[in-house]
């Protein structure tokens, strides 16, 4: 059922955590790649901040293509589409930054995303992970969805004390400072060769 | 008469189900292809969510071209136009996603759409089918229009109990989780070779 | 005088019928073609629905170029401009669809439009002709302008009973379901070879 | 002084007549051509109707390039700029259509515009000249500016009776139905060869 | 200090005079050129009229490139950026037209602009100089900034009588009708060869 | 922790100082470069003035590429992205001009930015540094963040007297008139060869 952890490890899909006035929710970030001219398409009723966040994630990846074992020519000869279902629900904010980056790297390298992992954190153009809001509500929704491991910005560690004991002990929290750490925890196996 | 089931199986046209404050209605999704540069045109007074839904459907198909027996070069050397008559009526929402995907695959493969089939469901970038609203009203309009088989999201099966007995027994409901199942039920014959 | 039937059969011009709160009016649709890159320009203070209607007409023609004896290369190497005088008067709605399609086919094939013919009807991407409103007012203005034959959507035949006897007997009504029938009645001679 | 008839016959400049709530005014239409890619630039705080009018004038000329002795390649390899000083004054409406067409043909053929001629009239895509408003006020301003010959739409002849005797006898009115007649009266000499 | 006359003769910078409700001010117009594709960029919080004014200045220069000893190929293979500091102050109106034209010609020919010269005047597409407003306030700010020679439109000569005697005798006014005269007074030396 | 001085000297990142109604703040300007077509992308919820400021900085650098030891071809064959975290915070104004210029030159030459340096100042198209507001608040936030050297516009020297003694003696102020001086103080080592 939608709003649950993925049933299988997936290539090109990562699970984010959203926070609105109505509470927390999980967010599937989907990435699709097909022959094109390097265009980036963003859909899912995304606000400007979330769109800019996707652009930052994509630029970071392009500028670090070699280290990430991504073929630069591949990026220039394909179009990339990032979509966030459910299409009628407005979404915004920078906190899906590392989730979009993870889904992109997964799609571009073929490495599956571990299905039990959720994540939240703003990404910068150098891959730094910045703090986010609503960690408590996001944790509750991650717990409800059956996720096991939650990647969070190191600067949010101080907020863990506000999360109910029962939830905090069920979830494994992984505080990170850089996208490199996110990818290490979220992606399976080593780098396959770039598609 | 318009608002009725198609008189013949058609290539590039599929029947969706819409739901507005004024009740349910059937919706013809038409796809036209002609020599061009891979541009996608969307008309019929469509709202942003419906346009994004069409983009998601198109991207899914492009990323799965090989499995769907569509020639990638063909897509890049043609323009595609999706139009939803009646042109003066505003339309929006993600629930025509699988209908637009079906009409696109039909137009790109030459496989006709079965004329007695209607459908409703949001599509994601990986081809998953997400639940929609207004199934009762949509069913009544499908029944009025003379459709026989209705493809619905598996997550909407629980709403079938709300549909009047007389309508429910006349219509065959097909709950699906993925676009592959939609295409299997909606398209005729095997894949022709791509046009 | 403007607002009158054309004095000669014309290539690239067709006469539509408009209907506003101020009553009916005739509408000259003009098409001009010149060397370019396949761009479509739309002017005459047209609303979005009317512009989308022109796009649908153009896409239908491009997807059916061979049957209509239009050279596909010719379309790609020219720009097409559709203009609707009087330039200061706002115009909208889908009912000029078949008129724009007729003017386009005339311009692209060199076949003149019969000067005594007026027409009204929405066009779909498959060339179907959908019903329109205001047939009574449109008929009165067609009569005033000296037109003789009026092409209407088959679904509007039921509205003929509302038209004053004196006007109805002066005008020949041609109900149609598809653009093929429109072109047969509105264009002169056989297809010349495409320009 | 500005607001006066030109002191010399000019290439690429024609004098139109404008009409606002503040009365009539003369309007210099300037056209400039330089190496480029066939782009049309429109400046001078022009409203949408006036811009569309310029596009119609330009399309008419491009579709009739051969008859007007204009080199089609020349149009595609240059950019064209139409500017209407005074840049801070908003201008709109279709009545400068024939003036813009005249200035364009002058610039593209090198034939000077006769300095004593003013003109007003909407142009259509086939070169027809449609009626305009404010002929009385426009005539007064043309008279004040020292113009001698005024080209008007044939359908405006009936409005000449409203113009004061003293003005009407000083000015020569030339009623026209088609741009061909406008060019004959406004441009000097025969066609030079296209630049 | 900013708001003062330039300390040296500069290439690609000219001093304009602005007039707002807050009084007069001097305005540095800066032009930068670098390898590109002939694009024109306009920044400095400029209003639409001022942007169109820059486009008119640029088109005039392109259409007169040969006479101005500017290499047409050079224009097509570079991008040009016009910026007007201070970037947070909104600016509008056509009166910086001749200043932008002067800075452009200076940048494109390498001829320095005389540092003691300020100027104000609308430019047309043929290089004519049209009258402007606020000459009194502009003169006071030019005087404060230490400028010595002010180029003004010939049609503004009548406004000189309104300027305080003390200012008027300190400044040399140069009334002009055409950009050729502006360039003659504002640019140093002969044309260098185009860069 | 974010809002602190960088822990290492960085390539492509410089520290600016912002000033809002809520007080002063430090601002990380990040620049990323990857294979492309010379496009400039600006993100971080930047207002129009700040975006224009980035364009001015970029144009100055492109027009001075040779002196700055930047390979012009490199600029044309890559895309450049400037991002300013935190992505949800609106930012505007011209005072980050020299910071963006410094981050750009660092990214394009490979020279690291000294981590203990902060800066504020508007940049013009010729590299001049113009005065800014809020120096006191900016100084306090620079002090809090542990910066040691602050580059300011020469025209702001007069404002130093308003800064608390304790802060002023901890920080080294460097007043500058031109970007050349900024780069000399902010960048490490000599020019490496352009990447
Ligand atoms: Ca949800
Ligand atoms: Ca806490
Ligand atoms: Ca309907
Ligand atoms: Ca239920
Ligand atoms: Ca009319
Ligand atoms: Ca009836
Ligand atoms: Ca005037
Ligand atoms: Ca009358
Ligand atoms: Ca100032
Ligand atoms: Ca006076
Ligand atoms: Ca901060
Ligand atoms: Ca002070």
- Mean per-residue pLDDT for C182-187? 98
Choose, from B91, B115, B136, B138, the residue flagged as catalytic: B138
Is the model's pLDDT at C149 over the cut of 70? yes
Check residue C190 and give its pLDDT: 65
Q: Please name which ligand lies nearest the alpha carbon of A160.
A: 2
| Residue E26 confidence (pLDDT) | 96
Q: Taking CA atoms, what residue in F is nearest to A55?
A: F43
What whole-number distance in Å separates Cα of residue D10 and Cα of residue D103? 9
pLDDT digits (tens, 9 = 90+) for A38-77: 899 999 999 999 999 999 999 999 999 999 999 988 888 9
Residue position matching structure tokens 């899909």: A13
- The DSSP secondary-structure symbol of C121 reads -
Contact between F178 and F98 under an 8 Å Cβ cutoff? The reply is: no
Alpha helices in D4-134 (DSSP H): 48-63, 72-76, 97-109
The per-residue pLDDT of chain A, averaged, comes to: 93
The answer on pLDDT for B192 being more than 50 is no
Please tell me which residue in E53, E95, E106, E141 is annotated as part of the active site.
Answer: E95
> What confidence tens digit (pLDDT) does each residue in F99-148 have?
999 999 999 999 999 999 999 999 999 999 999 999 999 999 999 999 99
Tell me whether residue B136 is one of the annotated catalytic residues.
Answer: no
Mean pLDDT of B147-169: 96
Share of chain B above pLDDT 70, in %: 93
Q: What is the mean pLDDT of chain C?
A: 93
User: Are the CB atoms for B149 and B116 separated by under 8 Å?
Assistant: yes
Q: Do D72 and C10 touch (CB under 8 A)?
A: no
Domain ranges of chain C: 13-185
Q: Is the pLDDT of residue D7 over 90?
A: no
Residue B149 has pLDDT above 50, yes or no: yes
Cα distance between residue F131 and residue F123, in whole Å: 9
User: pLDDT tens-digit profile of B85-98?
Assistant: 999 999 999 999 99
Residue B8: pLDDT band with limits 50, 70, 90: confident
Supply the pLDDT for residue C12: 97
Q: Are A116 and A148 in contact (CB under 8 A)?
A: yes
B195 in active site: no
Judge: A45–B52 Cβ closer than 8 Å, yes or no.
Answer: yes
- pLDDT digit string (tens) for A170-193? 999 999 999 999 999 999 976 444
Burial F16-49 (b: 16+ CB within 10 A, else e): bbbbeeeebbbbbbbbbbbebebebbbbbbbeeb
**3-state SS class at D30:** strand
Pair D82, D40: CB distance under 8 Å: yes
pLDDT of E129 > 80? The answer is yes
Report chain C's C-alpha Rg in angstroms.
15
The whole-angstrom distance between C117's CA and the closest CA on chain D is: 19
Tell me the three state secondary structure of residue E92: coil
Measured over the CA atoms of residue D126, residue D128, residue D132 and residue D138, the dihedral's sign is: positive
Which residue in E35, E81, E86 is closest to F94 by CB distance? Answer: E86
Task: Kindly report the nearest CA distance between residue F162 and chain A, in angstroms.
Answer: 34
> Which chain E residues are within 8 Å of F56, Cβ to Cβ?
43, 81, 83, 87
Mean pLDDT of the residues in chain B: 93
Count of other CB atoms within 10 angstroms of residue F138: 28
pLDDT of residue C105: 97
Ligand closest to Cα of E122 equals 7
Span F43-59, average pLDDT: 98
The pLDDT mean for chain F works out to 93
pLDDT above 90 (res F191): no
Q: D30 pLDDT band (50/70/90 cuts)?
A: very high
Domain A13-186 of CATH type 2.60.40.10: no
Say if A112 is an interface residue toward chain B (CB within 8 Å). no
For F69, residues 6+ apart whose C-beta sits below 8 A from its C-beta are F109, F191, F193, F194
HSE-CB for F14 with a 13 A CA cutoff: 34
Give the residue-averaged pLDDT of B124-135. 97
pLDDT of residue A154: 98
Residue C193 reports pLDDT greater than 90: no
Alpha-helical (H) ranges within A21-156 are 48-63, 72-76, 97-109, 135-144
Distance F159 CA to ligand 12 centre (A): 4
DSSP track, C1-67 = -TTS--SS-BSSEEEEEEEETTEEEEEEEEEEEEESSS-EEEESSB-HHHHHHHHHHHHHHHHTTTT
pLDDT surpassing 90 at residue A79? yes
pLDDT band at E192; cut points 50, 70, 90:
very low
What does the pLDDT look like over E25-83, one tens digit per residue?
A: 999 999 999 999 889 999 999 999 999 999 999 999 999 999 999 998 888 899 999 99
Largest separation between any pair of C-alpha atoms in chain B: 49
D120 neighbors D95 (Cβ within 8 angstroms): yes
Mean pLDDT within B10-39: 93
Q: How confident is the model over E4-24, as a mean pLDDT? A: 86
Asked if residue C2 has pLDDT above 50, the reply is no
Per-residue model confidence as pLDDT tens digits over F10-27 = 999 999 999 988 889 999
Rounded to whole angstroms, the Cα distance separating A13 from B65 reads 19
Per CB-CB distance under 8 Å, the chain A contacts of F32 are 59-60, 62-63, 125-126
For F121, the 3-state DSSP assignment is: coil
Cβ separation of F59 and E2 shorter than 8 Å?
no
pLDDT at C23: 87
* Cβ atoms < 10 Å from Cβ of C49: 23
Alpha-carbon distance A66 to nearest alpha carbon in chain F (angstroms): 11
Helix or strand holding residue C166 (H, E):
helix C165-170
Predicted pLDDT of residue C1: 42
**Is the predicted ipTM greater than 0.90, yes or no?**
yes
CATH of F13-185 given 3.30.230.10, 3.40.190.170, 1.10.600.10, 3.40.630.10: 3.30.230.10
Structure tokens at F122: 């508007």
Residues F164-185, mean pLDDT to the nearest whole number: 97
Q: Write the residue in E30, E45, E86 that is nearest to F125 by C-beta.
A: E30
Least CB–CB distance from E87: residue in F76, F94, F155: F94
Q: Which of residues 7-36 of A touch B (CB under 8 A)?
A: 10, 12-13, 28, 30-36
């Amino acid at each position: 059922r939608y709003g649950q952890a993925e049933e299988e490890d997936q290539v090109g899909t990562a699970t984010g955590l959203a926070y609105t006035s109505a509470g927390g929710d999980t967010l599937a970030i989907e990435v699709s790649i097909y022959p094109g001219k390097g265009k980036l398409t963003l859909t899912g009723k995304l606000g400007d901040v979330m769109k800019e966040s996707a652009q930052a994630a994509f630029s970071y990846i392009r500028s670090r293509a070699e280290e990430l074992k991504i073929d630069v020519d591949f990026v220039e000869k394909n179009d990339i589409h990032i979509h966030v279902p459910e299409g009628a629900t407005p979404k915004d904010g920078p906190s899906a930054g590392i989730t979009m980056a993870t889904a992109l790297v997964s799609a571009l390298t073929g490495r599956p995303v571990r299905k039990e992992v959720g994540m939240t954190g703003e990404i910068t153009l150098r891959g730094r992970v910045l703090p986010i809001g609503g960690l408590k509500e996001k944790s509750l929704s991650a717990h409800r969805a059956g996720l096991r491991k939650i990647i969070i910005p190191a600067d949010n560690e101080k907020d863990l004390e506000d999360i109910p004991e029962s939830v905090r002990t069920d979830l494994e929290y992984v505080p990170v400072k850089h996208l490199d750490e996110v990818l290490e925890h979220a992606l399976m196996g080593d780098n396959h060769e770039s598609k």
